[in-house]
């Protein structure tokens, strides 16, 4: 019994067959309920079998989305199914990244599919908006560029997306934020369109609703991400943002963050991480306006300065209550805000900031330590020097480095500020009261105190001095005058360069931290480059060269940077030394070759250039993140020095190959120092060229002399032959002249004889002609007489005829006058009667013309109908004739083939023949 039931049960279906069945049902269903039921069935398979559902039903799902858009429930199910296809279960056997790409291609290859999803944003229904946004986000993740293009070209597509930011439902609004952030990172056109849809106002509105930077959650962070996308490298959007007054909102947000930080209750520990992310994000957005070298950077700098943004940034940077990363980012932003802008740099130096007292200066009240350090109002430059150069915990390294970068930005591109800074540093160093934040005091006077304890204090001071001296002849000349010792009192005079070199050498001998040595070497390389006076000052201490050569020969992985920089320094010294240097150029070259060797020199500089610290400087982290646990940060070089090293690497490497006799010329203040190598090379090339030209000219002279001798010999030979030929021609000429005289005499005689004969013949001919002329004259006179007589007779006859005709005419005229009077009277009578008849005839003619026009119209219509019928008849006759002709040809062919022909056909043919014969007879008769 059970077996019978099992045999009658329907066959079990697998998932693939079921999906196929549901897909066919979705395609063929005409009722909305049937389509919705099929979609629900497909949704149950979408997570586990995404490939099968997509391959069988994707197009039908998209078609149903367009067809059933008015039904909210069906639309929701379709969107859920499509989202499941983009996000299948990880345990699914069909799960693959290729499915998402294929789905995205299916949507983006047809513009109307994306437009349909964007149309759903007009619906106020929650799930339609949310799911359509999520679906567009999934498509954008798979195919970002194509999705951006579809959204950009869709009618009102961007407007609908930006309008989502005003949705009061947080889930929809957040999803819209994420989608706009994903669409706008790399499309300038889309960025502009979003910005001009009032996106800035809506973004700041969301930030205010969320509670600003302090109380706002991750939504504020998403708003700042979208803001950075709209402003990054987009000058148009930055100008629009600046001109519409949104910069003040930055100042307001920063001010609120500072006030909330200073509140009595402070910031809760759980809210501080998110607050720091939001604040860090806002500072990053500010830096997007301040890209170095951008077209609108100076206008943006001025706008931030005028709205007080810089003051708020400095307030954050100098508050220890903020996190180190926030303070460092604030200082970096302040550096970008004043860099290469002379007006702002000068105004920046006039600002004051509140700085805490130095470590160890904690005040006491009644013998007890007060927990907070006092806030001291100091000049911003002093505050930055204090931040950068004061010994502190390694955790604040990023703040110190950012303060150093802010000071470098203050010095960048402003020669007067650099000169003033150096002058103040020299005055402080030379005075008895040594300042703790004086860079010369740190580098020359107190270098031993900070080498082992805080090497970065000395390194930062070295970086600042390098920037003060680099490519600035005025500051170099000012600093080169710094010296210790009084020569008049018999004391040894030690210049600034010699003191720096001595500190470098002593530090390396004591095997101290390499960062301090690198700092000294950066200063010396930048100072001595293209400065003969500085090179001579360095060579004034003879032991410096020997000691630096020893440092180059050091081995070990930790010495690669120092030894390479020492080799670079020796190359610079040799490149810009002269024969008048304390150590002449030739002697210096001999020392380098004998003590160091060319191979080792080139090897050390090449290893320095190829070290990861230099080669990958742009991509390596320059901050505390580069430090290994328990170690100092891996920050060794300044960015400007690395660029200097890379730019001049080839030149310094080849310097040792240059002969000592060739000096490098350096133009300083319009005065050239040294011998120009370019001038020497130019003169040498000119000498070589002149020698080559002289050699060519000498060879040309020899060739011309040989040609001249040959031509002279040829000339003499030609002259002799010409003389002989001339004598021969003279003899021939004499003979010809004698013969010519005889011929002339004979010709004259013949001519005279011929002339006399011609004269006699001419006289005879003339007599004959005169006789003939006389005879013709007589005949002409006789003819004229006869013609004259005949003409007179004819004239007499004509006169008589005229007289008779005149008499007859007079008689006829009298009779004609009487006839004309009678005829005129008859004519007048007839004319009046004819005019009456003519009027009656004209009236009848008008009536006849009207009838004729009507009849002509009828006649034209009938004629057109007749012509149409005649044309049809002619066509039918032509067709009938063609048929008869074809039939005759077929019968003839059948007869030729001896095929039987029916009687009817023969009778018809016979009748046709009989009809043709009478017509032929009639034609004959005619």
List, for residues 545-557, the tens digit of each pLDDT value.
Answer: 999 999 998 877 7
Percent above pLDDT 90 for the chain:
49
Instruction: Kindly write down the DSSP assignment for every residue of 762-816, as one continuous string.
Output: HHHHHHHHHHHHHHHHHHHHHHHHHHHHHHHHHHHHHHHHHHHHHHHHHHHHHHH
Tell me what pLDDT residue 264 has: 82
Q: Which of 14-28, 386-400, 723-737 reaches the highest mean pLDDT? A: 386-400
Angle CA(607)–CA(608)–CA(611) in degrees, nearest 5? Answer: 80
User: Residues 359, 340: contact at Cβ < 8 Å?
Assistant: no
**312, pLDDT greater than 60:** yes
For the chain, the first-to-last Cα distance in angstroms comes to 110
Tell me 375's DSSP state.
Answer: E
Tell me what pLDDT residue 393 has: 85
Listed in sequence order, the residues at least 6 apart from 235 whose beta carbon sits closer than 8 Å to its beta carbon are 294, 295, 296
Tell me what pLDDT residue 405 has: 96
Listed in sequence order, the residues at least 6 apart from 22 whose beta carbon sits closer than 8 Å to its beta carbon are 38, 41, 42, 45, 57
Q: Which of 191-200, 363-372, 797-806 reaches the highest mean pLDDT? A: 191-200
List, for residues 260-278, the tens digit of each pLDDT value.
Answer: 988 888 788 888 999 999 9
| C-alpha distance from residue 904 to each of 892, 909, 910, 911 (Å) | 16, 8, 10, 10
Tell me what pLDDT residue 302 has: 96
Q: Which residue has the higher pLDDT, 476 or 445?
A: 476
Q: What is the pTM of this model?
A: 0.70
User: Residues 319, 276: contact at Cβ < 8 Å?
Assistant: no
User: Residues 183, 149: contact at Cβ < 8 Å?
Assistant: no
At 916, is the pLDDT very low, low, confident or very high (cuts 50, 70, 90)? very low
Coil, strand or helix: which one is 353?
A: strand
List, for residues 471-517, the tens digit of each pLDDT value.
Answer: 999 999 999 999 887 777 777 889 999 999 999 999 888 888 899 99
Angle CA(232)–CA(236)–CA(238) in degrees, nearest 5? Answer: 55
Tell me what pLDDT residue 841 has: 72
| Phi, then psi, of 484 in degrees rounded to 5 | -115, 145
At 926, is the pLDDT very low, low, confident or very high (cuts 50, 70, 90)? very low
At 921, is the pLDDT very low, low, confident or very high (cuts 50, 70, 90)? very low
**925, pLDDT greater than 50:** no
Q: Which of 113-127, 447-461, 673-687, 853-867 reaches the highest mean pLDDT? A: 113-127
Q: Which residue has the higher pLDDT, 671 or 348?
A: 348
Tell me what pLDDT residue 141 has: 95
- Give the residue-averaged pLDDT of 758-779: 74
Region of 169 (left: φ > 0; alpha: ψ -120 to 50; beta: rest) is: beta
User: Residues 79, 127: contact at Cβ < 8 Å?
Assistant: yes
CA distance 27 to 19: 12
At 437, is the pLDDT very low, low, confident or very high (cuts 50, 70, 90)? confident
Quote the mean pLDDT of the chain: 84
Tell me what pLDDT residue 569 has: 96
**392, pLDDT greater than 70:** yes
- Give the residue-averaged pLDDT of 686-690: 82
List, for residues 119-143, the tens digit of each pLDDT value.
Answer: 999 999 999 999 999 999 999 999 9
CA distance 553 to 445: 28
- Give the residue-averaged pLDDT of 523-550: 93
The region of weakest confidence among 70-79, 423-432, 564-573 is 423-432
At 28, is the pLDDT very low, low, confident or very high (cuts 50, 70, 90)? confident
- Closest by alpha carbon to 614, among 649, 580, 642, 583? 642
- Give the residue-averaged pLDDT of 595-616: 94
User: Residues 708, 612: contact at Cβ < 8 Å?
Assistant: no
List, for residues 825-876, the tens digit of each pLDDT value.
Answer: 776 777 777 777 778 777 777 777 777 787 777 777 777 877 777 787 777 7
- Give the residue-averaged pLDDT of 148-170: 95
Tell me what pLDDT residue 902 has: 58
At 562, is the pLDDT very low, low, confident or very high (cuts 50, 70, 90)? very high
Residue 242 structure tokens: 């600046």
The region of weakest confidence among 154-163, 406-415, 449-458 is 449-458
Residue 630 structure tokens: 């328990």
Listed in sequence order, the residues at least 6 apart from 35 whose beta carbon sits closer than 8 Å to its beta carbon are 26, 29, 64, 68, 74
Tell me what pLDDT residue 555 has: 79
At 2, is the pLDDT very low, low, confident or very high (cuts 50, 70, 90)? very low
CA distance 558 to 570: 20
- The owner of tokens 């005058």 is 481
Tell me 395's DSSP state.
Answer: G
- Give the residue-averaged pLDDT of 303-313: 96
Tell me what pLDDT residue 631 has: 84
List, for residues 206-263, the tens digit of each pLDDT value.
Answer: 999 999 999 999 999 999 999 999 999 999 999 999 999 999 999 999 999 999 988 8
Tell me what pLDDT residue 715 has: 83
- Give the residue-averaged pLDDT of 59-88: 91
Q: Which of 369-383, 428-442, 764-778, 897-911 reaches the highest mean pLDDT? A: 428-442
At 606, is the pLDDT very low, low, confident or very high (cuts 50, 70, 90)? very high
- How many CB atoms within 10 Å of residue 500? 23
List, for residues 695-752, the tens digit of each pLDDT value.
Answer: 888 888 888 888 888 888 888 888 888 888 888 887 887 777 777 777 777 777 777 7
């Amino acid at each position: 019994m059970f077996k019978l039931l099992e045999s009658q049960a329907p066959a079990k279906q697998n998932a693939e067959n079921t999906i196929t069945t549901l897909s066919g049902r979705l395609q063929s269903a005409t009722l909305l309920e049937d389509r919705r039921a099929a979609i629900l069935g497909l949704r149950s398979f979408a997570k586990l079998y995404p490939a099968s559902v997509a391959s069988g039903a994707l197009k039908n799902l998209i078609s149903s989305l367009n067809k059933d858009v008015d039904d909210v429930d069906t639309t929701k199910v379709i969107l859920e199914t499509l989202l499941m296809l983009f996000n299948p279960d990880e345990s699914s056997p069909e799960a693959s990244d290729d499915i998402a790409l294929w789905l995205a291609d299916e949507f983006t290859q047809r513009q109307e599919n994306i437009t349909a999803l964007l149309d759903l944003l007009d619906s106020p229904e929650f799930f339609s908006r949310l799911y359509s946004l999520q679906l567009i986000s999934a498509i954008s993740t798979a195919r970002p560029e194509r999705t951006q293009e579809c959204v950009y070209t869709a009618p009102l597509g961007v407007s609908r997306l930006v309008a989502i930011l005003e949705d009061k439902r947080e889930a929809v609004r957040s999803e819209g934020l994420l989608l706009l952030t994903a669409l706008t990172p790399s499309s300038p056109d889309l960025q502009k369109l979003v910005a001009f849809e009032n996106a800035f106002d809506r973004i700041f509105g969301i930030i205010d609703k969320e509670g600003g930077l302090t109380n706002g959650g991750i939504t504020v962070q998403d708003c700042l991400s979208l803001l950075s996308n709209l402003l990054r490298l987009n000058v148009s959007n930055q100008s629009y943002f600046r001109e519409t007054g949104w910069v003040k909102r930055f100042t307001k947000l920063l001010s609120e963050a500072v006030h909330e930080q200073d509140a009595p209750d402070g910031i809760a520990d759980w809210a501080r991480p998110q607050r720091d992310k939001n604040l860090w994000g806002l500072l990053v957005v500010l830096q997007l306006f301040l890209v170095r070298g951008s077209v609108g950077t100076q206008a943006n700098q001025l706008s931030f300065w005028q709205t007080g943004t810089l003051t708020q940034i400095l307030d954050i940077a100098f508050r220890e209550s903020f996190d180190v990363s926030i303070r460092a980012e604030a200082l970096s932003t302040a550096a970008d805000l004043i860099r290469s802008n002379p007006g702002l740099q000068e105004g920046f130096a006039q600002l004051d900031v509140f700085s805490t007292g130095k470590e160890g200066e904690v005040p006491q009240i009644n013998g007890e330590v007060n927990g907070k350090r006092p806030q001291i109002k100091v000049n911003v430059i002093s505050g930055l020097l204090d931040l950068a150069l004061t010994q502190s915990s390694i955790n604040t390294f990023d703040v110190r480095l950012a303060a150093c970068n802010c000071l470098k930005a203050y010095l960048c591109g402003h020669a007067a500020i650099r000169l003033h800074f150096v002058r103040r540093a020299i005055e402080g160093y030379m005075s008895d009261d040594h300042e703790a934040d004086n860079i010369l005091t740190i580098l020359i006077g107190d270098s031993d105190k900070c080498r082992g304890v805080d090497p970065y204090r000395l390194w930062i001071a070295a970086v600042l001095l390098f920037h003060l001296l680099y490519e600035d002849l005025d500051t170099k000349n000012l600093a080169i005058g710094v010296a210790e010792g009084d020569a008049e009192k018999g004391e040894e005079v030690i210049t600034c360069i010699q003191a720096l070199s001595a500190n470098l050498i002593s530090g390396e001998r004591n095997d101290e931290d390499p960062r301090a040595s690198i700092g000294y070497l950066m200063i010396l390389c930048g100072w001595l480059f293209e400065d003969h006076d500085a090179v001579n000052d360095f060579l004034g201490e003879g032991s410096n060269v020997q000691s630096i050569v020893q440092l180059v020969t050091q081995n070990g992985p930790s010495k690669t940077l120092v030894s390479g920089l020492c080799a670079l320094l020796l190359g610079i010294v040799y490149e810009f030394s002269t024969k008048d240097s304390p150590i002449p150029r030739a002697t210096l070259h001999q020392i380098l070759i004998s003590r160091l060797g060319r191979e080792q020199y080139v090897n050390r500089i090449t290893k320095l250039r190829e070290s990861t610290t230099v080669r990958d400087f742009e991509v390596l982290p320059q901050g505390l993140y580069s430090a290994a646990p328990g170690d100092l940060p891996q920050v060794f070089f300044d960015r400007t020095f690395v660029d200097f090293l890379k730019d001049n690497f080839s030149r310094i490497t080849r310097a040792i190959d240059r002969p000592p006799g060739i000096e490098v010329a350096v133009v300083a203040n319009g005065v050239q120092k040294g011998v120009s190598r370019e001038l020497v090379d130019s003169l040498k090339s000119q000498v070589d060229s002149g020698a080559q030209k002289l050699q060519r000219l000498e060879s040309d002279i020899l060739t011309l002399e040989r040609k001249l001798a040959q031509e002279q010999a040829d000339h003499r030979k030609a002259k002799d032959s010409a003389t002989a030929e001339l004598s021969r021609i003279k003899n021939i000429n004499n003979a010809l002249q004698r013969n010519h005289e005889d011929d002339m005499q004979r010709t004259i005689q013949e001519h005279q004889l011929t002339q006399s004969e011609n004269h006699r013949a001419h006289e005879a001919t003339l007599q004959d002609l005169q006789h003939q002329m006389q005879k013709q004259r007589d005949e002409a006179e006789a003819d004229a007489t006869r013609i004259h007589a005949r003409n007179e007779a004819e004239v007499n006859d004509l006169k008589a005829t005229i007289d008779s005709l005149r008499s007859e005419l007079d008689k006829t005229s009298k009779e004609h006058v009487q006839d004309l009077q009678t005829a005129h009277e008859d004519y007048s009578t007839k004319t009046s009667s004819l005019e009456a008849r003519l009027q009656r005839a004209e009236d009848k003619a008008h009536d006849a013309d009207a009838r004729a026009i009507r009849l002509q119209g009828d006649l034209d219509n009938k004629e057109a109908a007749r012509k149409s019928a005649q044309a049809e008849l002619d066509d039918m006759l032509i067709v009938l004739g063609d048929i008869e002709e074809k039939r005759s040809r077929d019968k003839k062919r059948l007869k030729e083939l001896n095929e039987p022909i029916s009687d009817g056909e023969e009778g018809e043919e016979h009748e046709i023949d009989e009809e043709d014969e009478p017509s032929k007879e009639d034609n004959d008769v005619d």
